[in-house]
Amino acid sequence: MRISFLFVLLGWLHGSACVEAAVTPTLPASDTTITIRAVMGLQYDVVRFAVKPNTRVRIVLQNADDMAHNLVLTKPGKRPEVVNAALALDSKGPALNYIPKTASVLGAIQVLSPGAQGELIWTAPATEGVFPYVCTYPGHGFVMFGALYVTAKPLPPLKGDPNVPEQALQNQEAAQTAHHVDYTDRRPSPHPYPVELPVIYRTFMPESGPAAIVVVLPNEQSYCWDAGVCRLRYAWQGYVDNSEQWHGNGKRLSKVAGDVYYRTGSEFPIRLGDPGKAPKEVLYKGYQVVDRYPHFRYTVDGTEVTEIIRAAGSGNGLVREFRMGPVSDDVFFTLEPHEEIEYTASAGRIEGNLLRLTPRQARQFTITIKSQKTAKL
Amino acid sequence: MIRSGVLFLAILWFSAVAIAQSAADSICNYYQIENIPVPKGLLPEVGGMDFMPDGRLVACFHRGEIMIYNPVTRQWKLFAEGLHDPLGLVAVSNSEVLVMQRPEFTRVKDTDENGIADLYEVVTDRFGLSGNYHEFNFGPVADQKGDYFISLNLASGLGGTFAEVRGRPDSLGRPGRMYSYVPYRGWIMKVDKQGNLTPWAMGFRSPNGLGFDTRGNLFVSDNQGDWLGTSKLYHVQKDKFYGHPSSLVWKEGFPDIDPLTLPVAELDKMRTEAAVLFPQGIMANSPTQPLSDTTNGKFGPFAGQMLIGEMNQHRIVRLMLETVDGQIQGACVPFFDKCGLRMGNNRMVFGPGGSLWIGQNNHEAWTGDEGLQRITWTGKVPMEVQEMHITKKGFDLTFTHPVDKKLAVRPEAYPFKRYYYEYHQAYGSRQFDLQPVPVKKVKVSRDRKRVSVELAEMKPGYVYELNVTGVQSREGKPVLNTLICYTVNKLRKS
């Protein structure tokens, strides 16, 4: 456990060292290549790097995620403006690769499908500055970015750097600690291997149908997803305790070890075409595990849906990503009112308790559920 | 490796001592048993086992792991995790297994060839789940056409049901000690390659052990309890009813009544009798999975017969079946007793080379043991009853070695008795109408391997129990496993 933690940490440091080594005098200043990977969890694996003024930089983007991403390089301080401009493209977005035509955009790599690679070449100015790069794919821009430093000086400490995503840093820290140390250091593993997070358990849970799936996420938030009805049931801060379920041969339920901060209602949330009409048939198909995250698959009246649930940063919250097969009508998603919950969506319009998505928007969207209650420490 | 070597030596030493101290023969002299080490931290309650085409063993365990054991390197590797009490699996390829877990019949596959499964795809989940702890699911087993069979345990009155259940519940199936509140509990289902589910046969209580004979007949064991006077092995045929009434609520065209309200005589007429009864406390208390010896003799003299595990004793039972008047019936006899064998013998599979792998399970707190063992034949043939056939007036016994004729012709060498178990709602049954059955005549064949025993009376519906302690081989070896129970449903007419 500890060894893998160190390894990850070293690997990460090693990665940044490589990046900074690119500006050492042994390499020609006019030809620097930096490779950035788009990785799972809406992030670039390189969140900052530096080049000397006047360097001709080649940025290679490899999409190692299972969703689409682009990369847009902006003028200093213009990241939020560019992200909002990309969102304003609305239905014109896809054709433009969600790259707005504004003077704030210095260069861009178009939308890459999973596994694809693209690049851009940009020459750094003679003066120093911090140039943001960001994924402007809808819903990604607020968390998925990094910074290109044009400077000959050492970089400021990574922690506290306002130009890198705080969430990504936190996630990275959480992943490094929770993923590799916390779970089993605090509790002995019930298996012949250390438990790595996320971890998936099919078990009997309270407040669910009998075909429940529990996932404990890297920051030790957990959720219960009911495969019997293909929907999220509730989420909590904490883990799942299966000991009594196992020991009693299923007679006693697994336990929610923590505080539930979110519960869904009793209805299936997705409506095709008519918000008043529940789907006739919702069928569970299974899940594919990608980087230990389950990608739940089900059909709603024949339309395929994939759902991936990740932690929304470090507090109590989830990002539910949905990918849907082609639909001809608008799609509605019920956002049940909840005192302490705030919903945001990467696409569509929120009308009352409904998120309304055009058929195009419905192909891929995220719904972020954030608890306003501070997590119990 | 060192540890198991020492253990193996220890077993040899113990058996050597046993022989020196007593003239009694033992199965240890003919078969070797070995404990398979399991990884530290694993609760080795084996729910299912199979061999992959490349010779690796794949097994699933109580806490949801599927692990692969390489018998050559003796190393374990994790394949899949997070399943809900998986109780059976079949290896499809070196990277894919089909597993029966509580919520569904699942395809578990390593699609990116990194050795770890990443796809958990539903084959079918179109059967009911009430949340009752006793709704265990068993199988799959594949028939010769590639269709699968799974079996669905009844719920237990010792536990309740969830407020939300899967499948449309029927309150008419809810009464009783063991019950069928949601669809197809107490049924065996066929699942074709497309995942389509066909209700196949009904009337089961706790059908833990599914298996085929070498001719492709499907069998399932069921456990003593309500409506089961003693544990049984059924020959499973489409649309037939095997005796536990609760599952009848899911039979097409069955009236809207609680099946428990039907007169017992009527239920008795509807049911199909078991091929084999395992007398409780005598032969087996909780028989598990039947497995055909398909090793063509690599596992000894019983090729083509079925073995069946036993939960509550250090025992594996052997079956000697035959078709009489169109119906399969036959006898059970202990095959392997003690000699280092654990209890909880839940799953069995033949490995490369023809050794028998046994996965044990005590379901955490139930009777039994946990772990993994392997039995290998030494090449020596024990003195045993190899076959038992019903004749018009009695039974023919074939032995693995020629018998000592002087001993074998004596009628008193074949103390037969007979009894039956009552079909009723109560839990279990005592033996009814227990009578000794006098031997009228004994004939030994010219090759001295077959003995024909003529009995004073042959009566259908009875277990004929024999304890053949008085027979020895020509070399003076007594029969090793002398207790034999033959279930007479049909008499041989000619």
pLDDT tens digit string along B416-438? Answer: 999 999 999 999 999 999 999 99
Across chain A, mean pLDDT equals: 84
pLDDT(A245) > 60: yes
* Residue A193 with chain B: CB contacts under 8 Å: 41, 78
pLDDT(B7) > 50: no
Quick check: A289 and B118 CB within 8 A? yes
Quick check: B120 and A287 CB within 8 A? yes
* Residue A243 with chain B: CB contacts under 8 Å: none
pLDDT(B155) > 50: yes
Quick check: A228 and B43 CB within 8 A? no
pLDDT, position A139: 67
Most confident of A144-153, A306-315, A327-336: A327-336
For the domain spanning B385-488, the CATH number is: 2.60.40.1220
The C-alpha angle with vertex B52 and arms to B47 and B53, in degrees rounded to 5, equals: 155
Size of interface A-B (CB pairs under 8 A): 111
* Residue A175 pLDDT grade (very low, low, confident, very high; cuts 50, 70, 90): very low
Average pLDDT over residues B393-399: 98
Of B43, B78, B101, the CB nearest to A202: B101
Q: Judge whether B290 and B219 are in contact, CB under 8 Å.
A: yes
Which chain B residue is nearest to residue A202, measuring alpha carbons? B84
Write out the H or E segment, with its range, that includes residue A245.
helix A243-247
Rounded CA-CA distance A210/A139 in Å is 34
pLDDT, position A183: 44
Dihedral (Cα; A113, A118, A123, A125), 10-degree rounding: 20
Of B42, B102, B125, the CB nearest to A284: B125
- Compute the nearest-CA separation of A307 from chain B (Å): 14
Which chain B residue is nearest to residue A289, measuring alpha carbons? B118
* Residue A208 with chain B: CB contacts under 8 Å: 164
ipTM over 0.95: no
pLDDT, position B366: 63
* Residue B104 with chain A: CB contacts under 8 Å: 211, 227
Give the largest Cα separation in chain B, rounded: 70
**Residue-wise pLDDT tens digits, A54-86:** 989 999 999 876 667 999 999 999 999 999 898
**Residue-wise pLDDT tens digits, B173-216:** 999 999 999 999 999 999 999 999 999 999 999 999 999 999 99
**Where along chain B do its domains lie?**
385-488
pLDDT, position A9: 31
Provide the sign of the torsion angle of the four alpha carbons A19, A20, A21, A22, taken in this order: positive
Of B63, B133, B134, the CB nearest to A191: B63
Average pLDDT over residues B244-248: 98
Quick check: B119 and A201 CB within 8 A? no
pLDDT, position B365: 55
**Residue-wise pLDDT tens digits, A247-273:** 888 999 999 999 999 999 889 999 999
Which chain B residue is nearest to residue A208, measuring alpha carbons? B164
* Residue A374 pLDDT grade (very low, low, confident, very high; cuts 50, 70, 90): low
Of B41, B65, B133, the CB nearest to A251: B133
Q: Which of A191, A192, A184 is nearest to A1 (CA)?
A: A184
pLDDT, position A40: 65
pLDDT(A28) > 70: no
pLDDT(A212) > 90: yes
Quick check: B131 and A204 CB within 8 A? yes
Tokens 């420490």 sit on residue: A377
pLDDT, position A377: 39
Residue to substitute from A183, A193, A200, A284, interface B, most B β-carbons within 10 A? A193
* Residue A248 with chain B: CB contacts under 8 Å: 133, 364-365
Bridge partner residues of B475 (DSSP) = none
- Compute the nearest-CA separation of B65 from chain A (Å): 8
pLDDT, position B19: 36
* Residue A36 pLDDT grade (very low, low, confident, very high; cuts 50, 70, 90): very high
* Residue B131 with chain A: CB contacts under 8 Å: 204, 209-210
Burial of B113 (0-12, 13-18, 19+ CB in 10 A): exposed
**Which residues are CB-neighbours of B286 under 8 A, at least 6 positions away?**
B223, B224, B231, B310, B311, B312, B367
Token pair for B488: 């007479």
Q: Judge whether B332 and B306 are in contact, CB under 8 Å.
A: no
Q: Give this prediction's pTM.
A: 0.78
pLDDT, greater one: B35 or A27:
B35
Average pLDDT over residues B454-481: 96
- Compute the nearest-CA separation of B189 from chain A (Å): 19
Across chain B, mean pLDDT equals: 94
- Compute the nearest-CA separation of A72 from chain B (Å): 32
**Residue-wise pLDDT tens digits, B20-56:** 334 578 999 999 999 999 999 999 999 999 999 999 9
Rounded CA-CA distance A265/A278 in Å is 14
- Compute the nearest-CA separation of A23 from chain B (Å): 36
Which chain A residue is nearest to residue B103, measuring alpha carbons? A211
Quick check: A191 and B65 CB within 8 A? yes
- Three-state secondary structure of B409-433: CCHHHCCEEEEEECCCCCECCCEEE
* Residue A242 with chain B: CB contacts under 8 Å: 63
Which chain A residue is nearest to residue B42, measuring alpha carbons? A192
* Residue B39 with chain A: CB contacts under 8 Å: 192
pLDDT, greater one: B195 or A10:
B195
For the domain spanning A2-165, the CATH number is: 2.60.40.420
Quick check: A191 and B41 CB within 8 A? yes
- Compute the nearest-CA separation of A118 from chain B (Å): 24
Within an 8 Å CB–CB cutoff, is residue A115 touching chain B?
Answer: no
Quick check: B85 and A209 CB within 8 A? no
Quick check: A192 and B40 CB within 8 A? yes
Quick check: B164 and A208 CB within 8 A? yes
Quick check: B130 and A210 CB within 8 A? yes
The C-alpha angle with vertex A93 and arms to A92 and A98, in degrees rounded to 5, equals: 150
pLDDT(B493) > 70: yes
Residue to substitute from A251, A290, A297, interface B, most B β-carbons within 10 A? A251
Write out the H or E segment, with its range, that includes residue A44.
strand A43-44
Within an 8 Å CB–CB cutoff, is residue A246 touching chain B?
Answer: yes
pLDDT, greater one: B32 or B6:
B32
**Which residues are CB-neighbours of A80 under 8 A, at least 6 positions away?**
none
* Residue B40 with chain A: CB contacts under 8 Å: 192
pLDDT, position A177: 39
**Residue-wise pLDDT tens digits, A14-25:** 333 333 333 333
SS3 assignment, position A261? strand
- Three-state secondary structure of A339-355: CCEEEEECCCEEECCEE
Residue to substitute from A184, A195, A200, A204, interface B, most B β-carbons within 10 A? A204
pLDDT, position B398: 98
Of B63, B107, B130, the CB nearest to A190: B63
* Residue B159 with chain A: CB contacts under 8 Å: 251
Q: Judge whether A312 and A262 are in contact, CB under 8 Å.
A: no
pLDDT, greater one: B133 or A115:
B133
Residues 139-198 on A with a CB inside 8 Å of B are: 189-193
**Where along chain A do its domains lie?**
2-165, 197-371
